[in-house]
Structure 1
Amino acid sequence: MVVTLKEKDILRMYVKRIAPDTIFYFMAIVLITVFYQLSTKKSVEVIYPYSIAITIYFIWMCIRYVSYRSFYQSLSRMEKNCAYEGRFTKEDEIAINRAFNQIHREYLQMIRSMESDEEERRRFLSAWIHSMKTPVTVESLIIQRASRGELEEKTAMKDITLENDKLLSSLDMVLNIMRLQEFAKDYVPEEFDLADEINQIINNNKRLFIYSKVFPKVINECGGASSKVLSDRKWNRHMLDQIISNAVKYSKEEGEAKNVTFRLTKEGKKTVLYVEDEGIGMEETDLPRVFEPFFTGENGRNGRNASGIGLYFCKEISEHIQCQLSIESSIAAGTKVKIIYRNYPSNVFN
């Protein structure tokens, strides 16, 4: 809201500001006069010097008022136009102008950032809602075929369950992405052993591994060094669950067993986790964009039911829990995901 100061408002504020100075000024003149008369015991003409003092004071106050008025007019113009630099001459006015401009720039930057985040969120939700139309459409087609007797009821139920699982998985992922917007409220850093955590995550996903005929291998190369890290256990699990889901989905083949290898090692004082699969791999040209939302690449176009959300979700989590996430891959040679845990206890507590 822009407040425009009128002339009388500026004058009223100025009078209030100089009132104490005026009182002390004339009290000082009176006291000096009284002191002089008492000390000399002579009668002194005061009307003429008082008139000169009042005239000089009035002229000086008028000059100050012009400067005061110019200052507030400049502030009013700056409220209307952030590009207006103002005409400030005194050091305190220049300092106020600089502070005002700095606050204004930070405010505008914050607004642009919020608008950008809101636009990104809107585009993300729009794209996600559009992508969710596919499994709903597939379910509708399955129901139509089953009702016409073209599909057995058992097969139809199995297919509908698969599509429904996709919907639930995608919905859960998007809800978690939305929670990332308020990450500070749900961030609980704790120290835990990453090797034990990987074994627990593998155990939680054992049915996925068994049914897909993709089997996990854990290699701990930390030796005698500790594999403990400082991170948020819940969000770290969300990230690793999605990486495992991708590794299994792009590795499983009919009649052929594959492996997903979890390799723990140390790089200096940092704990590093490699997750390597034996899947179909990715095109080299796709790698720079794999963390973009809804980017599916060649694998998505070749019918692998890629949503384009998973790796984007992982990247967002890694940035929030201060891990460094990167991917190496090539066609028919599998994919290697590298996670560097930078918030390790030895750096924080020692």
Structure 2
Amino acid sequence: MKVKLRLFQKYLLNRKIVLSLFLFFALVNLVVGYVYQLPVERALLSIAISGFVVLIVGAIDFIRFYEKHRLLTHLRQRVVIGSMELPETNQLIEEEYQKIIQEMQEELLKLENTFEQSEQEILDYFTTWVHQIKVPIASLHLILQTEDSELSDEISEQLFHIDQYVNLILQYVRLGSSSTDYVFQETSLDELVRENIKKYAPSFIRKNLALHYEPITLTVLTDPKWLSFVIDQLLSNAVKYTNQGAVSIYLEDQQLVIEDTGIGILPEDLPRIGERNFTGCTGRQQKTATGIGLYLSKQIIEKLGHRISVSSVPNKGTKVMIQFSTEQLKLL
């Protein structure tokens, strides 16, 4: 009721010129009658008849005004509005506005098509670049396999990091692409975790870190490629920021937990973990930290319908938990 009353007030403001003219001519009618000494009843009757006509016409006009406002409000709440869906009008100014809207929609559609084409070209370029750069990286790995020295081990470690960064930039571009698709299927968490553990085995050995892993008898409905990327990033951070002690991977209350005994995260930095380009105190200490890995992990987890949470104590370690919804869980 209040909404209709406010709308009626706006309607009166829009028709204030018509109302002002009616009041003006009513006053003129009274003045003319007074000047020519005509009966007052005649002037009042004329005003009453005119007022009745104005009231009827105004009621019909307000109903049309209300229906048009309701339709426009409904269209405004929609994501896409077609120019043909706008209410019909016989007013020249409104027709011109609708033509402007149609031209703007056509221009916007052209810009969207151009943007999508440019976005796809960038994605194709990065995909090609990643595959090309992986060839010399794989070749260097093969060459280093014939060497058995501390230097070759160090070079292999750095090549592994380069390979990670290459994959990171590709996933960053893919995540922001409108054409990114997700293929959900029943996935064994144990297989995903074991695949990533194998990749980091040399890093564990090189840093003399212990690995505590409990087999995970849990299947989840997810996209294995994207979830594997998240596990890879979390395991990478655990190894990177742990200089002594161990990394533990286990299941707790149907949550996948990756816990380390590393440098930890300050309490004031925890709420901002996963923000774009945020590195916190750790980033200031570790000059190579970018925070992009956790940012991507958080974005991917949300798109997969999972949840991620982090708890940490400085100089004691960090605990990252991935929680799956009950609909996505299946015990083996």
TM-score under structure 2 normalisation? 0.54
Structure 2: distance between partners of 1:295 and 1:156 = 33
Letter of the aligned partner of 1:229 in structure 2? Answer: V
Structure 2: distance between partners of 1:107 and 1:178 = 25
Structure 1: distance between partners of 2:194 and 2:271 = 31
Q: How far has the Cα of 1:173 moved from its partner?
A: 1.5
In 2 relative to 1, CA 293–98 (structure 1 residues): closer, same or farther, beyond 3 Å?
same
Secondary structure of 1:262 counterpart: strand
Asked if residue 241 in structure 1 is aligned to residue 224 in structure 2, the reply is no
Larger CA Rg, structure 1 vs 2:
1
- Which residue of the other structure, out of 79, 93, 103, is the alignment partner of 2:75? 103
Correspondence 1:328-339 to 2 at 5 A: 328-339=311-322
Q: Does the 8 Å contact 1:228/1:344 carry over to 2?
A: no
In 2 relative to 1, CA 98–298 (structure 1 residues): closer, same or farther, beyond 3 Å?
same
Query: Runs of 5+ in structure 2 lacking a partner?
Result: 1-52, 82-107, 116-148
Structure 2: distance between partners of 1:162 and 1:206 = 11
The count of corresponding residues between Structure 1 and Structure 2 is 211
Correspondence 1:60-99 to 2 at 5 A: 89-90=62-63, 94-99=66-71
Find the counterpart in structure 1 of residue 200 from structure 2: 205
Q: How far has the Cα of 1:219 moved from its partner?
A: 2.5
Find the counterpart in structure 2 of residue 276 from structure 1: 259
Structure 2: distance between partners of 1:198 and 1:242 = 12
Find the counterpart in structure 1 of residue 181 from structure 2: 186
Structure 2: distance between partners of 1:187 and 1:108 = 24
Query: Runs of 5+ in structure 1 lacking a partner?
Result: 1-62, 71-86, 119-153
Letter of the aligned partner of 2:70 in structure 1? Answer: R
Q: How far has the Cα of 1:178 moved from its partner?
A: 2.2
% identical aligned pairs: 29
In 2 relative to 1, CA 288–260 (structure 1 residues): closer, same or farther, beyond 3 Å?
same
**CA RMSD, 1 decimal:** 3.8
Q: Deviations over 1:117-139 (max 9, x none)?
A: x9xxxxxxxxxxxxxxxxxxxxx
Q: Deviations over 1:149-168 (max 9, x none)?
A: xxxxx999999987776565
In 2 relative to 1, CA 243–276 (structure 1 residues): closer, same or farther, beyond 3 Å?
same
Find the counterpart in structure 1 of residue 31 from structure 2: none
Asked if residue 227 in structure 1 is aligned to residue 200 in structure 2, the reply is no
Structure 1: distance between partners of 2:181 and 2:80 = 28
Asked if residue 299 in structure 1 is aligned to residue 282 in structure 2, the reply is yes
Structure 2: distance between partners of 1:158 and 1:202 = 18
Q: Does the 8 Å contact 2:174/2:180 carry over to 1?
A: no
In 2 relative to 1, CA 167–94 (structure 1 residues): closer, same or farther, beyond 3 Å?
farther
Q: How far has the Cα of 1:343 moved from its partner?
A: 5.8
In 2 relative to 1, CA 346–307 (structure 1 residues): closer, same or farther, beyond 3 Å?
closer
Find the counterpart in structure 2 of residue 262 from structure 1: 249
Structure 2: distance between partners of 1:334 and 1:294 = 22
- Which residue of the other structure, out of 317, 333, 345, is the alignment partner of 2:300? 317
Secondary structure of 1:209 counterpart: helix
In 2 relative to 1, CA 209–164 (structure 1 residues): closer, same or farther, beyond 3 Å?
closer
